[in-house]
Amino acid sequence: MSQSALDKVFAGSIPKLYDDHLVPLIFEPYAKDLAARLASRKLGRVLEVAAGTGAVTRHLAARLPADVAIVATDLNPPMLEFAAARGTARPVEWRQADAMQLPFPDQSFDALVCQFGVMFFPDRAKAFAEARRVLKQGGLLLFNAWDRIEENDFAHVVLDSLATTFPDDPPRFMARTPHGYHDVDTIRRDLRAGGFSGAPVVETVAARSVADTARIPAVAYCQGTPWRNEIEARDKARLVEATDRAEAAIAERFGRGRVDGKIQAHVIAVE
């Protein structure tokens, strides 16, 4: 399987580990932020793409009025099935869908929201064009993207740790994909290419990533993301070793008890 294909495999035990560890560690603050930004708008129908295990979906269902219809989609069936099984505070329509070929009529939604999914789209301008197509006149596209990996403490430490574990061929999933779309000028160009003529509002938002022990972020990153696929592709027997080394590196920098690191992302809104 190619590296680009491996980057998109969220299967096996990854969805549960992702939701148990990575969502509270780094996604929860930004999920609350996106839902809060939508809560002040008058909405009828909201589409979420790349919903993953439903972190944003759950906050949307809790924050938006009951008469606002929510459709949550993801390309990856295991992630979507996990999200649907975990459930939401009120009914949500779950659909498997490709962000670059959305199965919805033109001008179907008042807002489209995407949490940390745009980095995975093979053709971002095409995905933005699809977003523009399904949005009503004056509809809002709201999404976020991680800043440089150097601005995200735990991910950066794990990246360096894996480079020492596999010096001949370091696994670089987090730097390459989740943190690989951090240039704001590139994002602006892709939005223009996708048909958004208005100037996007970009806000860089820092938050804190907190865990009770260094083991939690080590497991979250090494076993709850496609970094696991990269590690196991090099040597399946070394997953535990890689996780242990990542834990030791985090503990060395942040302490052996409760750990607290910076996370940072861009939040982009455009009509």
* pLDDT tens figures, 109-167: 999 999 999 999 999 999 999 999 999 999 999 999 999 999 999 999 999 999 999 99
Which residue reads 């745009």 in tokens?
118
Tokens of 120: 């995975």
**Strand arrangement, sheet containing 93-96:** 93-96, 69-74, 45-48, 109-115, 135-146, 259-270, 201-211
Q: How many CB atoms lie within 10 A of CB 64?
A: 19
So what's the architecture of 3-270 in CATH? 3-Layer(aba) Sandwich (3.40)
How do residues 42-62 score in pLDDT, each as one tens digit? Answer: 999 999 999 999 999 999 999
Tell me the C-alpha distance between 77 and 196, whole Å. Answer: 30
Tell me the C-alpha distance between 182 and 2, whole Å. Answer: 23
